[in-house]
């Protein structure tokens, strides 16, 4: 099975898990048009319609369900095989360059690297941060950690774990404005929204729900920025309600600096991936890094690790 075929399986599984083209695009960090084009290419390659879709419905065809169910097992087997092989490697040495999104990198990956470096003193490690974790390997990076499935031709993509988006605000804001009683009441509150770099597109459609009911609420922000850490800081200082990744705010929620709004509901599920250039895939330092990272992130606001 080629890289493209494995990448298509991971893409399709993420799309089905998201439940719609638009939700899939948000979780993958791309546009609905790009998702639709890639799905069409997969269907053309397979010679079969996988998804039955119109303006109101998103469902799997018979072959789509088969592709999804068999694909889950194939991807899991690949991930488990790679993990088993990694245990036979020698002690890592040399250099290792890691790329990550700014907030994830500063709050989660940098502390992990401290412990990992102490465990592997012969390894020299560099951490590079970008606002949306978007890099290419011409940046001389060995591993790129990315939230949302990347589309990087020729690379090896490994899913590490999942997190979710949650609504949260500071105790001071809640004391001043009270809690909303239904997601639709978010439109009456001060909301803090991200914008995409370069395009300045506003990310103001917040998905919140459970297994039986989901709302997509369009909010009008009082404050917006292209930087996720600024959103975090504004939430802590009582400026409004934020729609944040659980992995970014779990410590503040545990310490009471932020309060989760609608704790019985959750926002979009977002997968964390490691993207590796294929020529680097067998390096001992990379395998050791990913093997140690998986159990670490299970304690850091992620729902699972594989």
This prediction's pTM: 0.68
Beta bridge partners of 121: none
Q: What is the DSSP letter of 266?
A: B
Tell me: the pLDDT tens digits for 158-201?
A: 889 999 999 999 999 999 998 999 999 999 999 999 998 778 99
CA contacts within 13 A on the Cβ side of 122? 8
At 165, list the tokens: 């988006």
CA 61/CA 67 separation, integer angstroms: 10
**Phi, psi values for residue 197, rounded to 5°:** -60, 150
Tell me: the pLDDT tens digits for 92-129?
A: 788 899 999 888 999 899 999 999 999 999 899 999 98
CATH of 164-261 given 3.40.190.10, 3.90.1170.50, 3.40.50.620, 3.90.1310.10 = 3.40.190.10
What is the pLDDT, as a whole number, of residue 168?
98
Per residue in 33-56, is it b (16+ CB within 10 Å) or e — as a string? eebeebbeebbeeeeeebbeeeee
CA 285/CA 121 separation, integer angstroms: 12
At 59, list the tokens: 């469902």
CA 145/CA 168 separation, integer angstroms: 25
What is the pLDDT, as a whole number, of residue 229?
92
Domain locations in the chain as residue ranges: 3-85, 90-161+271-305, 164-261
More confident residue, 90 or 10: 10
Question: Do 90-161+271-305 and 3-85 have the same topology in CATH?
Answer: no
18, 199, 272, 240 alpha-carbon torsion, rounded to 10°: -80
Tell me: the pLDDT tens digits for 7-37?
A: 889 889 888 888 888 888 887 778 888 889 9
Q: Do the beta carbons of residue 105 and residue 127 sit within 8 Å? A: yes
More confident residue, 230 or 18: 230
CA 117/CA 114 separation, integer angstroms: 5
- Who's near 215: CB < 8 A, 6+ residues apart? 183, 184, 207, 208, 209
CATH of 90-161+271-305 given 3.40.190.10, 3.40.50.11930, 3.40.50.1100, 3.40.309.10 = 3.40.190.10
Contacts 24+ apart (CB under 8 A), 276-282: 276/142, 276/143, 276/144, 276/155, 276/156, 276/157, 276/158, 277/137, 277/142, 277/154, 277/155, 277/156, 278/3, 278/154, 278/155, 278/156, 280/142, 280/143, 281/156
CA 16/CA 42 separation, integer angstroms: 14
3-state secondary structure of 48: coil
Give the mean pLDDT of the chain. 86
At 119, list the tokens: 């465990």
At 206, list the tokens: 């917040």
CA 296/CA 71 separation, integer angstroms: 27
Rounded mean pLDDT of 214-237? 95
CA 22/CA 215 separation, integer angstroms: 14
Q: Which CATH class is domain 3-85?
A: mainly alpha
């Amino acid at each position: 099975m080629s890289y493209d075929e494995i990448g298509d399986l991971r893409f399709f599984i993420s799309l089905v898990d998201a439940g719609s083209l638009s939700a899939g695009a948000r979780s993958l960090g791309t546009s609905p048009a790009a998702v639709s084009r890639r799905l069409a290419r997969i269907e053309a390659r397979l010679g079969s319609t996988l998804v039955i879709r119109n303006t109101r419905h998103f469902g799997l065809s018979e072959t789509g369900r088969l592709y999804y169910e068999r694909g889950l097992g194939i991807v899991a087997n690949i991930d488990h095989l790679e993990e088993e092989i990694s245990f036979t490697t020698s002690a890592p040495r040399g250099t290792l360059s890691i790329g990550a999104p700014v907030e994830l990198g500063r709050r989660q990956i940098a502390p992990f690297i401290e412990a990992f470096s102490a465990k592997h003193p012969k390894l020299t490690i560099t951490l590079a941060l970008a606002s949306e974790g978007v890099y290419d390997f011409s940046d001389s990076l060995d591993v790129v950690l990315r939230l949302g499935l990347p589309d990087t031709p020729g690379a090896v993509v490994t899913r590490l774990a999942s997190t979710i988006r949650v609504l949260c605000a500071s105790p001071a804001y809640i004391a001043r404005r009270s809690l909303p009683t239904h997601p639709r009441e978010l439109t009456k509150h001060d909301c803090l929204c991200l914008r995409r770099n370069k395009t300045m597109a506003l990310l103001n459609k917040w998905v919140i729900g459970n297994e039986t009911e989901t709302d997509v609420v369009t909010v009008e922000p009082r404050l917006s920025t292209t930087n996720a850490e600024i959103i975090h800081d504004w939430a802590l200082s009582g400026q409004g309600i934020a729609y944040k990744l659980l992995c970014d705010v779990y410590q503040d929620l545990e310490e009471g600096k932020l309060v989760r709004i609608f704790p019985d509901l959750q926002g979009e599920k977002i997968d964390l991936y490691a993207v590796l250039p294929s020529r680097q895939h067998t390096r001992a330092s990379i395998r050791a890094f990913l093997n140690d990272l998986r159990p670490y992130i299970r304690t850091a606001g992620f729902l699972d690790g594989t």
